[in-house]
Amino acid sequence: MCKIALIFGTRPEIIKVAPVYLKAKEMGIDITFVCTGQHREMVDMMKSVFNVDADYDMNIMTQNQTLNDVASRVIAEFQGYASDKNFDWVLVQGDTTTAMASAIAAFNMGIKVGHIEAGLRSGNLYDPFPEEMNRRVTDQLSELMFAPTQRARQALLSEGFEDGRIIVTGNTVVDAQMYVLDHFDLSGIRKRIIENDNYFLVTLHRRENIGERMRNVLRAMRKFSQETGLEIVFPMHKNPRVRQSVAEELGDFKLARLIEPVDYVTSTALIQGARFVATDSGGIQEEAPTFKKLVVVCRETTERPEVIDSHFGILAGTSENGVYNALKMTLEMDAPDLPNPFGDGNASQRILSAIVGGN
């Protein structure tokens, strides 16, 4: 029987791999759920949502850890753990240091690597940093690349990857959304935070945006909110530098609801109820179209151009004027009445069928 290790370490990863793990269990596949603990608190928040827990936890997180700390500890820990497990495959997801380091460790041990969400590209190695590098390295090491969209497949083909190594599956985040819609009362959950729907949801955390870029974005949001009366609902990332910028720009602003990080179910409920979303997150760009919500992408680039091409999103940049103008555009636009361009809820099945069928 095929033995799989499925590795995660951050909140976005567990959201996107939990459906794969649950589907594997349903299919009777021998799968081991491995947590690196790269983002300890945020990962632990997520486990109860999908009623899952790690079979093995590296618990690598330390205070003020650097990217090199994370990478070196993941490689060493996985080497020690997996040396006698005889895994046939290691599955990693996305563009985190956990994914990249796990792929390196598996490759060096002769274990086949499968990359969930392969082929995303911004075209700039330093933006987003270090995600663009992480996903390029992970693709190079992967036996199979599970591209979420045809555009991602074309990006891989243009880089010279063999067509037989690329499988278009859709994005597992849509699988996760289908799970949440089936298991939770999203309207009731949203009303615990805000009763009305006269708000837009904000998330900001990108490493390359911290500092002046983020302050520009926050100033634009404040100006827009003041003019329109739309409230800001902002679950704040734990990064102290993010919180400092938010406190300086929105701390005294009465239309801003600054709240602690929320679990995935609450985040989904807030997306569903919002007028639109403004974010520098990659995942929310994929999630909002399920609910026919526009996304203002507060970044200089996006590796998910499908959200722009499908007219669900506006690439705002990070200047104050650019973000302000993009926010104003949402008042004049309707989200298209189209399916989510990132998936149909069956990505997990396609990924596992490719692994089991080809093993």
Residue 126 has pLDDT above 70, yes or no: yes
The reply to whether 291 and 228 lie within a common domain is: yes
Position 359 confidence tier, pLDDT thresholds 50, 70, 90: low
The reply to whether 162 and 230 lie within a common domain is: no
DSSP assignment string, 11-40: HHHHHHHHHHHHHHHHHT-EEEEEE--TTH
Residue 315 lies in a domain: yes
Write the DSSP symbol of residue 195.
S
Residue 1 has pLDDT above 90, yes or no: no
The reply to whether 123 and 232 lie within a common domain is: no
- The number of folded domains in the chain is 2
Tokens of 105: 């460790």
- Our CA dihedral for 10, 11, 17, 18, rounded to 10 degrees, sits at 130
323-354 pLDDT tens trace: 999 999 999 999 999 999 999 999 999 999 99
Pick from 81-85, 193-197, 238-242: least confident: 238-242
The reply to whether 48 and 117 lie within a common domain is: yes
Residue 145 has pLDDT above 90, yes or no: yes
Residue 334 lies in a domain: no
The side-by-side arrangement of strands in the sheet containing 199-203 is: 256-259, 231-235, 199-203, 277-279, 295-297, 313-315
Residue 348 lies in a domain: yes
The reply to whether 208 and 101 lie within a common domain is: no
Tokens of 118: 């392969």
Q: Taking residues 109-127, what's their average pLDDT?
A: 95
Position 38 confidence tier, pLDDT thresholds 50, 70, 90: confident
pLDDT at 48: 83
Position 358 confidence tier, pLDDT thresholds 50, 70, 90: low
Residue 293 lies in a domain: yes
Position 238 confidence tier, pLDDT thresholds 50, 70, 90: confident
Q: Catalytic amino acids?
A: 95, 117, 131, 205, 207, 237
Q: Taking residues 292-311, what's their average pLDDT?
A: 96
Residue 178 lies in a domain: no
* H-only helix segments in 184-211: 186-191
The reply to whether 82 and 212 lie within a common domain is: no
Candidates 81, 116, 122; CA nearest to 96 is 116
The reply to whether 94 and 203 lie within a common domain is: no
195-209 pLDDT tens trace: 999 999 999 998 889
Tokens of 145: 């690349």
Residue 22 has pLDDT above 70, yes or no: yes
The reply to whether 232 and 272 lie within a common domain is: yes
Residue 39 has pLDDT above 80, yes or no: no
In one-letter notation, the amino acid at residue 308 is I
The reply to whether 156 and 276 lie within a common domain is: no
Residue 44 has pLDDT above 80, yes or no: no
Structural domain of residue 74, as residue ranges?
A: 3-171+343-358
254-270 pLDDT tens trace: 999 999 999 899 999 99
pLDDT at 219: 98
The reply to whether 143 and 219 lie within a common domain is: no
Q: Is residue 197 within 8 Å of residue 227, measured between CB atoms?
A: no
pLDDT at 127: 86
Residue 177 lies in a domain: no
pLDDT at 62: 84
Residue 33 lies in a domain: yes
Residue 179 lies in a domain: no
Cα 44 to Cα 59, 171, 225, 255, distances in angstroms: 11, 23, 33, 31
Place of tokens 């990693």: 92
Q: What CATH number is associated with residue 289?
A: 3.40.50.2000
Cα 346 to Cα 156, 173, 174, 175, 259, distances in angstroms: 22, 10, 8, 6, 33
For the purposes of burial, counting CB atoms within 10 Å of the CB of 158, is it exposed (0-12), middle (13-18) or buried (19 or more)? exposed
Residue 42 has pLDDT above 70, yes or no: no
Bridge partners of residue 138, in order along the sequence: none
How far is residue 71's CA from residue 42's CA, in Å, rounded to a whole number?
A: 19
pLDDT at 11: 85
Cα-to-chain-centroid distance, residue 351: 18
How far is residue 139's CA from residue 145's CA, in Å, rounded to a whole number?
A: 7
Size (the chain), residues: 359
DSSP assignment string, 83-151: TTT--SEEEEETTSHHHHHHHHHHHHTT-EEEEETTT---S-TTSSTTHHHHHHHHHHH-SEEEESSHH
Q: Bigger pLDDT: 207 or 157? A: 157
Position 77 confidence tier, pLDDT thresholds 50, 70, 90: very high
Residue 239 has pLDDT above 70, yes or no: yes
The reply to whether 38 and 127 lie within a common domain is: yes
DSSP assignment string, 288-337: GGGGT--EEE-SS--S-THHHHTTSEEE--SSHHHHHHHHHHTTT----S
The reply to whether 67 and 133 lie within a common domain is: yes
